[in-house]
């Protein structure tokens, strides 16, 4: 099942710190990650109409607000004089109001997500020492995107991670898709789509579907390596695993940069 990811160019957010479990990165503040709670300002404005919350969204997080309105929701230009009213009206739908309320309740505390992101990016830098650790923020979309990737930023759409048994999801998603819409998927998805943004598939639109599938499988294989568990388990991840078993000394960065999949495709049985 495909996951939704939006790739954008955005201005970075401010980092906050957290403790890492990996000693190698204890003194490296670039390995510190904490989710910025942009969603709380968003919720405050969209449920109460508090103009001060909207002002703070526009003042402290202008690019995040622009991205939400123009690229995630696609309801108009942020410079439109009527956009604030349109933004507020859009979320008055009862389904969206419930999503806001339930997301804020489920994610009142995100310490586990912060710890997971810290550890994941610390381990990623063990394999890719020069990789930049992104700024991460939370928002509430409209059941469209799961992860929004910008210029060294990751936006987590909390409304897409309310659990596979969340009642509203059953109206819109099949059981297989709902399995991926859980709190446990947040860190792997952030890592997976961030890697995809750093190592895109060249000429993706003209490549064969099998190349695109293997490219995603390669990102997911690296995620499994970083997470130290087989979180992603597809035939394409297994093909990459078979390939890497033959080239154990290959640096991870070499694997990620290589987009020639001819040898991997030999493992595919039609």
Q: Within a 10 A sphere around the Cβ of 58, how many other Cβ atoms?
A: 15
Q: What angle do CA 120, 124, 130 make, to 5 degrees?
A: 135
User: Which among 153, 118, 93 has a CA at the least distance from the CA of 25?
Assistant: 118
Please count the other Cβ atoms lying within 10 Å of the Cβ belonging to residue 63.
17
Q: What angle do CA 87, 93, 95 make, to 5 degrees?
A: 125
Taking the whole predicted model, whether its pTM rises above 0.85 is answered as yes
Give the domain ranges of the chain: 5-197, 201-265
Q: How far is 149 from 155, CA to CA, in rounded Å?
A: 6
DSSP per-residue codes, 156-207: EEGGG-S-TT-TTHHHHS-HHHHTTSSGGGHHHHHHHHHHHHHSPPTTGGGS
pLDDT tens digit at each of 270 positions of the chain: 345 777 664 333 332 334 333 334 444 444 588 999 999 999 999 999 999 999 999 999 999 999 999 999 999 999 999 999 999 999 999 999 999 999 999 999 999 999 999 999 999 999 999 999 999 999 999 998 999 999 889 999 999 999 999 999 999 999 999 999 999 999 999 999 999 999 999 888 899 999 999 999 999 999 999 999 999 999 999 999 999 999 999 999 999 999 999 999 987 765
- The pLDDT > 90 percentage for the chain reads 82
């Amino acid at each position: 099942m495909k996951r939704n990811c939006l790739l954008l160019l955005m201005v970075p957010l401010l980092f906050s710190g957290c403790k890492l479990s990996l000693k190698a990165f204890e003194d490296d503040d670039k390995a510190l990650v904490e989710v910025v709670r942009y969603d709380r300002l968003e919720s405050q404005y969209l449920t109460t109409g508090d103009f001060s919350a909207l002002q703070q969204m526009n003042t402290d997080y202008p690019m995040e607000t622009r991205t939400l309105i123009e690229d995630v929701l696609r309801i108009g230009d942020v410079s439109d004089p009527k956009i604030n009213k349109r933004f507020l009206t859009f979320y008055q739908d009862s389904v969206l109001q419930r999503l806001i309320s339930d997301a804020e309740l489920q994610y009142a505390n995100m310490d586990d997500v912060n710890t997971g992101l810290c550890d994941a990016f610390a381990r990623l830098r063990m394999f890719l020492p020069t990789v930049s650790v992104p700024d991460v923020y939370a928002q509430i979309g409209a059941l469209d995107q799961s992860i929004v990737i910008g210029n060294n930023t990751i936006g987590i759409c909390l409304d897409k991670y309310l659990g596979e048994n969340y009642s509203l999801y059953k109206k819109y998603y099949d059981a297989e898709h709902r399995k991926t819409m859980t709190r446990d998927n947040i860190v792997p998805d952030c890592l997976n789509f961030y890697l995809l943004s750093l190592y895109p598939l060249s000429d993706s639109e003209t490549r064969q579907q099998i190349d695109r599938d293997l490219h995603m499988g390669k990102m997911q294989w690296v995620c499994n390596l970083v997470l130290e568990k087989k979180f992603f388990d597809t035939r394409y991840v297994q093909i990459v695993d078979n390939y890497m078993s033959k080239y154990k000394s290959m640096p991870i960065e070499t694997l990620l940069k290589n987009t020639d999949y001819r040898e991997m495709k030999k493992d595919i049985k039609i």
